[in-house]
Copies of this chain bind each other. A is one copy, B any other.
Amino acid sequence: MSFSGSVYKTLQKISGKSNVTRKKEELLCYSYDATGNSFLPEVIIFPGSENEVSQILNLASKQNFIVVPRGAGSGMTGGAVPVNGGLVMVTSRMNKILEINENNFIAKVQPGVIVADLHKKVEEKNLFYPPDPASSSICTIGGNIAECAGGPRAVKYGVTRDYVLGLKAVLPSGKIIQTGVKTAKGVAGYDLTRLIVGSEGTLAIVTEITLKLLAKPAAIKTLAVFFDSMQKAARTVSGIMRETVIPRCVEYLDKASIDLVKDYISFDLPDNIKALLIIELDGYKTQVEKDALDIQKLCFSYNALEVLIAEDKTQSQELWNARKALSPALYKIANNKINEDIVVPVDKIPDMVQITKEIQKTYGLKVVSFGHAGDGNIHCNIMYNKADESEVKKANKAVDKLFQATLDLGGTITGEHGVGITKMKYLPKEIGATQIELMRGIKKVFDPLNILNPGKIFIS
């Protein structure tokens, strides 16, 4: 490592004095992410352009210092945390929506654009960008690309990967590449675009993104469905997913989740409520209204206690506010959480619910589950107190058990949060040694000096 006076001065020259810092209090602000893990960087830089990103990486490769790209730091697995120190490159100044093209249904954006801002701007033009992670009001599109973010609407619309047509990105050497296309289709050469999406900032730093947009759905209907057992809710989810109506969201909340956020909801909740599904449909007005009634009927046939169809946007917003408040509200239960975003085949959700119950019982820890049930993506939060060593041990054992059960059911250890540092040791359980060897080989092709976000995904 080598942030000597001259290297620091060169960085100041590249991005301007006011955009480089090594003050302790500022370093602290960029040391952590949503996992709570914190590692102090040595320098923070806020580049203003692709050209600056290129100059910084070129310098890094010559001086052999580490660069860790960072969006809003809302990641759930430590992807943006500088585990080995070095320079943290924050994309917040590169936050322009460069183009929204209504004729070709594409947007061109810089990585620092806040996802909710993009949603707003495209919707003003009657267009639609589906991916909507719960953190959309703060997270950046660059971070979404790094982790291949999902969100509730992925059930119907897929994840970030499905909307990235092309990228501009800077390699660790400082060289700029342009991948993919600006058109609906394209297969010229290997798919570098989707290789970079989800690579957690370890292959290249993305500087411009071409996104595919859809037409904004004409109507939306939100339903709240209450159950007196998690099993009934889980069976309903797989029942719904077998129908030809694919809702755009099928979220579920267990009893502990409902208790945490019930203050957000003005509806009367049944006394014996144990599970809540939030179902959202979109499409044409008349069709959506008909579908809502069909789904209501179907839910009752699966023994729902009550099915409320939100009457207006305010009622629907109330449900979503409750859902989005969940993640931070968890800290009411315990100081620390391990948040795992496992995915199981949809028809295995009832099994997973049972396993979660058993884990809770075996280890005596509270497990709060909610998430994107429609695609089998469940956020299991294992709550514990970090200061209590025996609880930490139990929490780790609970995670081991949870992941093993997930893999046994044919699932994956991460649906949308990525591997980062928190799942590194579990990755080899899911994917074999040969694949990890291929991935390491690919990493070396992009980053032979291992200066770009090292210490992530793969155990070194």
Contact = CB atoms under 8 A, between A and B. Distances in A.
Contacts of A416: 185, 187
B190 A439 contact: yes
Nearest to A423: B188
Interface in A422-454: 423, 427, 430-432, 434-436, 438-439, 441-446
A113 to B, nearest CB: 21
Contacts of A417: 187
Nearest to A436: B189
User: How large, as a class, is the contact surface on chain A?
Assistant: 35 or more
The oligomer's copy count stands at 2
A432 B188 CA distance: 11
Contacts of A104: 345-347, 376
B377 A439 contact: no
B187 A147 contact: yes
A178 interface: yes
A177 B178 CA distance: 29
**Listed residue (A155, A419, A431) with the most chain B CB atoms within 10 angstroms of its CB:** A431
Interface string A366-389: 000000100111000000000000
Nearest to A147: B187
A414 B244 contact: no
A432 B418 CA distance: 29
Could you tell me the dominant secondary structure of chain A's interface residues?
loop
A111 to B, nearest CB: 18
A158 B185 CA distance: 8
A414 B215 contact: no
Contacts of A242: 102-103
A142 interface: no
Contacts of A283: 287
Contacts of A197: 191
**Listed residue (A175, A418, A443) with the most chain B CB atoms within 10 angstroms of its CB:** A175
B345 A175 contact: no
A52 interface: no
Given A103-B346, A438-B177, A412 B186 contact: yes
A135 to B, nearest CB: 16
Contact of A238 (B103, B203, B372, B457): B103
B414 A184 contact: no
Contacts of A244: 126, 215-218
Contacts of A116: none
A47 interface: no
Interface of A: 101-106, 126, 147-148, 150, 154-155, 158-159, 161-162, 171, 175-179, 181-192, 194-195, 197-199, 203, 214-218, 238, 241-246, 283-284, 286-287, 343-347, 372, 375-377, 410-419, 423, 427, 430-432, 434-436, 438-439, 441-446, 457
Given A188-B427, A189-B419, 12 more contacts: A148-B191, A176-B434, A185-B375, A185-B412, A186-B414, A187-B414, A187-B415, A188-B423, A190-B443, A191-B194, A192-B439, A194-B195
26 contacts: A102-B242, A103-B346, A104-B376, A155-B184, A159-B185, A159-B187, A161-B191, A175-B434, A177-B432, A181-B412, A183-B376, A183-B410, A183-B415, A184-B376, A184-B377, A187-B419, A189-B436, A189-B439, A190-B442, A191-B199, A216-B244, A286-B286, A286-B287, A442-B442, A442-B445, A445-B445
